[in-house]
Structure 1
Amino acid sequence: MPDLNRCDEKQSDNIHSTELNVYLECGVVALLILLIDLATPLGIANGILYVIVVLISLRSPEKRFTLIIAVICTLLVGIGYLGSPSSEIPLYQVFANRFLALFVIWLTAILALKQRDKTAALHQARLKYLQSVKEIEMREEKLRVLKATMRTVQDITGNFLNNLHFFKLEIEKNNTLTPESAAKLDELIHDTSQRLNKLGDLEEIREKKMAGDMIGIEYEHSLINEATIQRVEPNENITKEE
Structure 2
Amino acid sequence: MTTPPSHRLLLLAIVLLGIGLYTLDLYLPLGIGNGVLYGGLVVLSLAFPDRTTPILVASTCSVLALSDVFLGVTFANVPFWMGLSNRLFSLTAIWFPVIYAFQRRKIEEALRSAHDELEVRVGERTRELALVNQALVEEIGERMETERFLRESESSLKESQEKLQHSREELRALAGQLLTAQEGERRRIARDLHDDVNQRLAMLAMDLRRIEKGEAGDLAAIEGLVRSITRRLTTVSDDVRQMAYRFHPSILDDLGLVKAVRRLVDDFSASTKTEVVYVHHDAVSPVPTELATCVYRIAQEGLNNVARHAQATEVEVELICDEEVITLSIRDNGVGFDSQQASQGLGRLGLLSMKERVRLVRGTLTVSTAPGRGTHLEVCVPLPGGAHV
For the aligned pair, the TM-score class normalised by the smaller chain equals 0.5 to 0.7
> C-alpha displacement at 1:128, in angstroms?
0.9
**Using the alignment, how far apart are the partners of 1:116 and 1:56 within structure 2?**
16
> Residue 37 of structure 1 is aligned with which of 25, 31, 37?
25
> Residue 158 of structure 1 is aligned with which of 129, 147, 150?
147
Match of 1:128 in 2: 117
Give unmatched runs, 5+ long, in structure 2: 165-342, 345-389
Larger Rg: 2
> C-alpha displacement at 1:18, in angstroms?
6.4
Letter in 1 for 2:140: R
Q: Is the 8 A contact 2:66 2:84 kept in 1?
A: no
> C-alpha displacement at 1:72, in angstroms?
0.8
Higher RCO structure (Cα 8 Å, ≥6 apart): 1
Letter in 1 for 2:18: A
**Using the alignment, how far apart are the partners of 1:152 and 1:18 within structure 2?**
62
Shift of the 122–89 alpha-carbon distance from structure 1 to 2, 3 Å rule, reads farther
> Residue 49 of structure 2 is aligned with which of 61, 65, 80?
61
Match of 1:104 in 2: 93
With 154-163 and 36-45 compared, the bigger mean Cα shift is at 36-45
**Using the alignment, how far apart are the partners of 2:4 and 2:23 within structure 1?**
29
> C-alpha displacement at 1:154, in angstroms?
2.7
The Cα offsets for residues 34-86 of structure 1, whole Å up to 9 and x where unpaired, read as 34324523646312221122223333232233222221111221444455444
The Cα offsets for residues 86-118 of structure 1, whole Å up to 9 and x where unpaired, read as 445513332222121124323443343234323
Q: Is the 8 A contact 2:38 2:61 kept in 1?
A: yes
Give unmatched runs, 5+ long, in structure 1: 1-11, 176-235, 238-242
Shift of the 157–21 alpha-carbon distance from structure 1 to 2, 3 Å rule, reads farther
Match of 1:142 in 2: 131
TM-score by length of 1: 0.54
Alignment coverage as a number of residue pairs: 167
**Using the alignment, how far apart are the partners of 1:17 and 1:69 within structure 2?**
19
Letter in 2 for 1:158: E
> C-alpha displacement at 1:171, in angstroms?
3.6
Give the SS at the match of 1:161.
Answer: helix
> Residue 27 of structure 1 is aligned with which of 3, 15, 22?
15
**Using the alignment, how far apart are the partners of 1:152 and 1:81 within structure 2?**
85
**Using the alignment, how far apart are the partners of 2:6 and 2:114 within structure 1?**
25
Shift of the 169–25 alpha-carbon distance from structure 1 to 2, 3 Å rule, reads farther
> C-alpha displacement at 1:124, in angstroms?
1.1
**Using the alignment, how far apart are the partners of 1:16 and 1:109 within structure 2?**
22
**Using the alignment, how far apart are the partners of 2:149 and 2:61 within structure 1?**
84
**Using the alignment, how far apart are the partners of 2:95 and 2:46 within structure 1?**
13
**Using the alignment, how far apart are the partners of 2:66 and 2:143 within structure 1?**
84
Aligned ranges for residues 40-51 of structure 1 at < 5 Å? 40-41=28-29, 43=31, 45-51=33-39
Match of 1:119 in 2: 108
Letter in 2 for 1:167: S
Shift of the 34–129 alpha-carbon distance from structure 1 to 2, 3 Å rule, reads same
Match of 2:61 in 1: 73
TM-score by length of 2: 0.36
Letter in 2 for 1:65: T
**Using the alignment, how far apart are the partners of 2:104 and 2:134 within structure 1?**
45
Q: Is the 8 A contact 1:37 1:46 kept in 2?
A: yes
Q: How high is the sequence identity, in percent, across the aligned residues? A: 21
